[in-house]
Structure 1
Amino acid sequence: MTEKVIYKECCVIGCGISGIAVARWLKKYNFDFVVLEKSNDIAGLWRYRENDYGVMSFTYINISKYNYCFSDYQFPKDTVELMHHSQIYEYVKSYMNMHNLYDYTKFNHQVILLEELNKSDALYSENLRFPNLDTYERLWKLTVKVENREIVYISPYVAVASGHHYDPKNVKFPGQETFPGEIIHSVKYKNAKFNKMVGKKVLLVGIGDSSVDIADNLVTQGECQNVTISSRRGSWVFPSYISGYTTDLYPSRFILSLPWQYTTIFYENLIRFICGDPKKYNLNPKYRAFKYQPTVTQSLYHHIQRKKVTIQPNIKEISGNEVTFSNGAKENFDSIIMCTGYDIRIVFLSNDLKKEVFDPLSEAFLNLYKLVFTPKYESNIAFIGFVQSHTGGILSISEIQARWFVYLMLKKTKLPSHKEMTENINLFKKNIENRFYKSPRHTLQVDPLLYNDEISSFFGAKPNLIQNPALAWRIMFTSCGSAQWRINGPDALPDAIQIVKRVPIPPLNTFIAEMLDKFIDLTKPFQKYLEYPKEYNPRVHGPYNPAQYYGKPDPLSQVKVGEVGQWLSRRNFSLPAMRSALGRAMWAYRLKYIAPKKANAAFVFHFIFFTYTLNYFIYEYPVRKHHTWAIYH
């Protein structure tokens, strides 16, 4: 029975990472809001609970502390790069205290129904007490269960931040009902001792991050002699560290802007160079590395080499304890753990809302503009954190989405039209189908750097290369961390640049940047012309012109045939002088024949030919001639 009606400007559902990000920005702008959390604590999946969903006791994040943090609150310098879940929980708890967000959070408040408040609803007449009622296009009604009673919240804005890692996906195999041992989903696995799997023969279905972490725990803590991982499609397994740097530090705007077909070839060969061919370990990936979510681990290769872990293809059938794989191999197992991911479910949405949010052809797809807003309800309801990060953590994405949502509430920016949003949603679905292997987990896939750049550009917070020339190199060739979207735009941080500069730069990124700098940088040839020649006198010659010769006039056209030898002897044929002469000649050519013309195809061709020729003869050719390998140092 409903006992109470509460009015808020905004209701946030969930107090995990995404919900906290929304709460922080709502509080900054003094909104009257509430965070509704169904459990008794914060941090969502990062809060370890023995008898409930959440991380395993041994879980370490595979994203570095630089890319998995709030933009205004960095981890201490002495924190390890890949943190234990307890460290992340304490960090989130400290962030809550820092912004006094506990005062706005209601624990043990489970939202059981979210629906639009119709005018015919009896509660609508009571909403006259709501301030500025006429300014809102619609209102939302949230029915919340608190112990044995129900409370109703009414609000013009709602942020759904309940997450999509909640409803376990269970796969059925032929004969599975005959298996006498225990079959559980990975969400219920805490450690080998808690789940009583010490010394047992265990089969893991799936080869994602959870699967390889469980395999490592079964081998080390569980002392299991042989753990088997079954995978339908095989996998490309990335090491947690490459050259001493965490893997998430390597993706950059330059790398991600290249066609993924070229990028995946590069990283596949990098894996082969560091770890060996996946076929050697029986991983047998059926698709390219960037066709699906990469698996990141540091221990799997070692366990396979020591024959502690075995990789098998898909399960064909189960008969009692015996499992037959598609390659004909048969093994007996005591337990099976399903590491098969989660279905995307938001159980508390009304039927009308579900029709707007979920694709009728495939519920794995969300009909959300940029995975946040529905075209119909626009900014009145936002879905925060409903993404799958391809190359980094979700925290920075949730924070960018939260800022976008709050700026829309403040009318500082606006959404495109209904038609444009619908077209963009359809285009996103098409791109996902072409880019990734067809799987429900890939329907929410985004690259954090590119995605955050796009969202932040809507409210002017995208890192600007022109405004920040000193950071241009880092912005293009490194991951830069979460503070990069606070360098410029609204709510810029004074120390954002210093925070970005503290993010480590992997040697591979430095090498790529240096190679591009050698071959593409066209500013180097012109640097020498910024220095005035000794003969130049500004009082005599006026404004400096790089194409003008300021020495003693001695043109070849005025030299007699018999004096050519003397004229040549007066010339400086040193390499710098020849390069200078070539540069002046080409600059004069440009001023006379190119600059006066209108921009057309010939103009573009002349400019490209001029700049690349100048770059080659002035910089590249001398370097290659005198030191063939100089470009690699």
Structure 2
Amino acid sequence: MVKKVAVIGAGASGLPAIKCCLDEGLEPVCFERTDHIGGLWYYTKSAIDGQACVMKSTVINTSKEMMCYSDFPIPKEYPNYMHNTYVLKYFNLYADHFGLRKYIQFRKERVHVHYLHVGMDKFKGTVTHSHDYKDFHVYEDKRLVVVGIGNSGGDAAVELCRVASQVFLSTRRGSWIINRVGDNGYPADLNRGARYMRAMFQVLPSWVPNKMRERQVNRRFDHAMYSMKPKHAPMSQHPTVNDDLPNRIICGSIIVKPNIKTFTETSVVFEDGTKEDVDAVIFATGYIFGFPFLDKSVTEVKDNKVNLYKYMFPPDLERNTLCIIGCIQPLGAIMPISENQSRLFTRVVKGTVTLPSSSEMWNDIHLKSNIMAKQYVKSYRHTIQVSYIQFMDEIAEIAGHKPNLHALFLRDPKLAMKCFLQGCTPYQYRLMGPNSWKGARDAIMTQMDRVHYPLKTRPLGFDEEKSKDNFFLYLVLGIGIAYIVYYYMFISFWTEE
């Protein structure tokens, strides 16, 4: 008898959940409250209660090679950092390629998204949450405050400052700002998301990579001089990704301010005592997540914290037949992680993977909570924080498809070097194990070609320089990280044995 699995939502996490059910011979039934796929990546002109949606101008913060699903590369023609329309096109391509739509029942589910409200009885101007912000038109020639320095707040401030008479960006702690565009113009997350970087951070004391990251971001602009520097280290907070913010600050079109103390009818008073007349306030202060469709006896969210094994499984259920996919904030792309979680869950449902006991699950939950409390600043943003490679490997190891780089170095050293030195793209998790993909090796070997392709839009008229991805690059990098490779690949291997 074929087991049926209910999937709630046909967005970035729901679509791979459907596909992974099919991979394992299960029968998915997806309930989608709207009449379309794509979740928050489906832009609507007007705000819909309880439904998250991107801004009209939103560009994704993770590059296409790092955010794609593991057996379906994003077309080479698509930009490296895609506008939301391209993200939605990709989801539609994915759904059509694997025939997922026939398993979706549209207009069949309702899910709430709750967000923070602030009492502002005195203020007579316009008050909006970033959830409801769509575009800049109603803010032309206005003076306004954007509250919050996360990705939504930074994006809104940058867009609005081009049409508003003045934008103030209010932040309680400040933030470290990182680029989409990295060294030599490559997507920055391809380097940050490389296995050699994780290996290096594992063998060095934590203050070393923090100092390295601080020097790196301050080379672009001095965060203290721009009133953006927080008290905490760069790796103690989820970073803000924004290429334009320092340009707007140096032009004066965005002025960074501290937290808001109080409101008058026509102005805001900041905690440093300064006062500014404003016409509008936009709150980009984050969301409170929850699962109103689940009984509290199954799982309950308190203070934006939820107790789930691997951020997926309620630990006290008699049978592991319920799983929450994508309830995480990764330092990296969420799409491959959601797919990875779906691969694990479907194998649990099928019976090919057995999860540990309830007590062992609770031990893992408490361990993660303690580690997070030590590493990150206390915040609603850091209750479900995960590191991309570490968490992907963790899930893949349980599910049986974690890439074995030790074996790969012996069998296919060129591929292994790609896996270790370049970005840890999702294709690595299709190289071996259940539901491996024959195209995974080729996808990894050609991933930089897809990075280059959308940038090669004008013939230069002379012989273009060959790719730097050659033997000499590998030689130089190999010498520089020899100790790391030795420790990570061999010392740790024999220790595990």
Q: Normalising to structure 2: TM-score of the pair? A: 0.86
Cα offsets for 1:209-245 (capped at 9, x unmatched): 111111121123xx11321100000111112212212
Identity level (%):
30
| Cα separation, 2, equivalents of 1:247 and 1:200 | 34
1:92 matched to 2:34? no
Please, which of 137, 140, 143 is the counterpart of residue 198 of structure 1? 140
1:453 is matched with which residue? 393
Q: Which residue, 346, 350, 364 being the options, matches 2:304?
A: 364
Residue of 291, 298, 301 corresponding to 1:353? 298
Aligned partner of 2:435 in structure 1 is 491
Note the 1:77-116 alignment, pairs <5 A: 77-110=76-109
The corresponding residue for 1:425 is: 365
Counterpart selection for 1:182 from 126, 143, 161: 126
Deviations 1:361-409 (A, max 9, x none): x44221100101111225210010001012x110010000000001111
Is the Cα contact below 8 Å between 2:26 and 2:350 reproduced in 1? no
Aligned residue in 1 for 2:461: none
1:463-502 matches, cutoff 5 A: 463-469=403-409, 470=413, 471-502=415-446
More RCO (CA 8 Å, sep 6+): 2
The residue matched to 1:17 in structure 2 has which SS?
A: coil
| Alignment partner of 2:43 out of 48, 52, 55 | 48
Determine if contact 1:207/1:339 at 8 Å carries over to the other structure: yes
Alignment of 1:220-239 (within 5 A): 220=162, 223-239=163-179
CA distance in 1, matches of 2:229, 2:424: 34
State how far apart, in whole Å, the 2-side matches of 1:517 and 1:364 are: 39
User: Does residue 1:61 correspond to 2:54, yes or no?
Assistant: no
Alignment partner, residue 552 of structure 1: none
Give the AA of the match of 2:408: N
Give the residue type in structure 1 aligned to 2:98: H
Q: Is the 8 A contact 2:176 2:234 kept in 1?
A: yes
Q: Which runs of 5+ in 1 are unaligned?
A: 1-6, 112-161, 524-603, 605-633
For residues 296 and 89 of structure 1, the distance between their equivalents in structure 2, rounded to whole angstroms, comes to 21
Q: Partners of 1:458 and 1:406 in 2: how far apart? A: 12
- 1:513: how far off? 3.3
1:24 aligns with 2:25: no
State the alpha-carbon separation in 2 of the partners of residues 520 and 98 from structure 1: 40
**Counterpart check, 1:305 vs 2:300:** no
Q: Which amino acid aligns with 1:406?
A: T
Equivalent of 2:207 in 261, 264, 274: 261
Spell out, residue by residue over 1:529-553, the C-alpha distance to the aligned partner (whole angstroms, 9 max, x if none).
Answer: xxxxxxxxxxxxxxxxxxxxxxxxx
Q: Structure 2 matches for 1:202-601, cutoff 5 A?
A: 202-220=144-162, 223-243=163-183, 244-251=185-192, 252-257=194-199, 258=201, 259-273=205-219, 275-354=220-299, 357-358=300-301, 362-377=302-317, 378-390=319-331, 392-469=332-409, 470=413, 471-504=415-448, 513-517=477-481
CA positional deviation for 1:515 = 4.5
Q: Secondary structure at the match of 1:305?
A: helix
CA–CA separation in structure 2 for the residues paired with 1:334 and 1:186: 16
Q: Which residue does 1:13 correspond to in 2?
A: 8
- Distance in structure 1 (CA, Å) of the matches to 2:114 and 2:237: 21
1:41–1:23 CA distance, 2 compared to 1 (3 A): same
Distance 1:208 1:375 in 2: 31
> Which residue does the alignment assign to 1:562?
none
Question: How far apart are the structure 2 equivalents of 1:413 and 1:432?
Answer: 27
Counterpart CA distance in 1 for 2:474 and 2:33 is 46
Q: Aligned partners of 1:278, 1:437: CA distance in 2, in Å?
A: 18
CA distance in 2, matches of 1:34, 1:171: 39
Amino acid at match of 2:264: S
Alignment counterpart, residue 117 of structure 2, candidates 134, 159, 170: 170
Shift of 1:458: 1.1
SS of structure 2 residue aligned to 1:279? coil
Conserved in 1, the CA contact under 8 Å of 2:30 and 2:105? yes
Native 8 Å contact 1:480 1:503 kept in 2 = no
Q: CA deviation at 1:351?
A: 2.8
- Inter-CA distance 512–426: structure 2 relative to 1 (3 Å threshold): farther
1-structure distance, mates of 2:386, 2:65:
19
Aligned to 1:597: none
Letter in 1 for 2:329: Q
Q: Distance in 2 between matches of 1:512 and 1:293?
A: 31
Matched residue type, 1:402: S
Rg larger for: 1
Q: CA deviation at 1:349?
A: 1.1
For the structure 1 residues 255 and 507, does the alpha-carbon distance in structure 2 shift closer, same or farther, using more than 3 Å as the test? farther
Cα deviations by residue, 1:458-500 (Å, 9 ceiling, x for unpaired) = 1221111122112333333332311110011111111211211
Q: What is the letter of the counterpart of residue 170 of structure 1?
A: H
Aligned-partner Cα distance in 2 for 1:451–1:232: 29
Shift, 1:253, TM fit: 2.7
Q: Is the 8 A contact 2:221 2:246 kept in 1?
A: no
Mark the CA change 1:260 to 1:479 in structure 2 (over 3 Å): closer, same or farther.
farther
Contact 1:396 1:448 in 2 (8 A): no
Work out whether residues 180 and 321 of structure 1, in 8 Å CA contact, stay in contact via their aligned partners in 2: yes
Query: Partner residue of 1:120?
Result: none
SS at match of 1:431: helix
Q: Which amino acid in 2 is paired with 1:29?
A: E
2:151 is aligned with what amino acid?
Answer: D
Using the size of structure 1 for normalisation, the TM-score is 0.68
Q: Which amino acid aligns with 1:226?
A: Q
Change in 2 beyond 3 A, CA 1:450/1:521: closer
The equivalent of 2:455 in structure 1 is: none
One-letter identity of the residue aligned with 1:465: L
> What are the superposed Cα offsets for residues 63-96 of structure 1, whole Å, 9 maximum, x if unpaired?
0000111111111112110001011111101111
Q: Point out 4+ residue stretches in structure 1 off by more than 4 angstroms.
A: 505-512, 517-523
Deviation at 1:8, TM superposition (A): 7.1
CA displacement 1:610-629 (0-9 Å, x = unmatched) = xxxxxxxxxxxxxxxxxxxx
Question: What residue ranges of structure 2 are gaps of 5+ in the alignment?
Answer: 452-466, 488-494
Contact 1:344 1:363 (8 Å CA) reproduced = no
- SS for the counterpart of 2:235 is helix
Residue in 2 that maps onto 1:75? 74
Report the equivalent of 2:31. 36
Question: C-alpha separation between the residues in 1 aligned to 2:385 and 2:468?
Answer: 27
Equivalent residue letter for 1:280: M
- Give the paired residue count: 452
Kindly indicate whether the alpha-carbon contact (under 8 Å) linking 1:178 and 1:318 is maintained by their aligned counterparts in 2: yes
In the alignment, residue 189 of structure 2 is paired with which amino acid? D
C-alpha distance in 2, partners of 1:408/1:245? 38
Match of 1:81, as an amino acid? Answer: N
Aligned residues of 1:253 and 1:450 also touching (Cα < 8 A): no
